[in-house]
Structure 1
Amino acid sequence: MAMHASQIEALLRDAFPTADIIVSGDDGVHMAAEVSATEFAGKNRVQQQRMVYAALKGKMDGPSGELHALALTTRVKE
């Protein structure tokens, strides 16, 4: 089952309520997300990305995951 950009954004918004979030992609399997969040302060890029993947609540886990690929850009929101 494919995911829509709005579903990904909703999961990210739950985890990062004050973040600036842009989700793009239209095939439902290969998507891109830009997340600018204050929660990333003091975290390196890998830690930031792990936080985003955790927010997706298993939607990318294994071959049966709903989302196959997510090109991810993270930054600390100022």
Structure 2
Amino acid sequence: MNAETIRTLIENGLPGAQARVQGDDGVHFEATVVAEAFRGKLPLARHRLVYATLGERMGGEIHALALKTLTPEEAGIGDS
């Protein structure tokens, strides 16, 4: 598993999302995900949305994924 594959899975699974994923060892990754779908959701619900895009890979091919989840406004890219 690599960071680019994870980014693609997240962005395909969350329409309109923008993801930045890093991880050099192939099993531990960090991701920042910006998505309108996070609006009004608590952090746990946001993380579940991201995990759902990765399915059974979580806990398998992806041993750990540290997440930062933001709405476009929280990321400073939305309408002010």
The two structures have a TM-score, normalised by structure 2, of: 0.85
Q: List 4+ stretches of structure 1 deviating above 4 A.
A: none
Shift of 1:77: 1.5
Specify every segment of 5 or more residues in structure 2 that has no aligned partner in the other structure, as ranges: 74-80
1:75 aligned residue: 70
Contact 1:13 1:19 in 2 (8 A): yes
> Between Structure 1 and Structure 2, which shows a larger proportion of helix residues?
2
How far apart, CA to CA, are the structure 2 residues paired with 1:14 and 1:20?
A: 10
**Matched length:** 73
The two structures have a TM-score, normalised by structure 1, of: 0.87
Contact 1:19 1:77 in 2 (8 A): no
RMSD of Structure 2 on Structure 1 (CA): 1.0
How far apart, CA to CA, are the structure 1 residues paired with 2:38 and 2:11?
A: 14
How far apart, CA to CA, are the structure 1 residues paired with 2:33 and 2:25?
A: 20
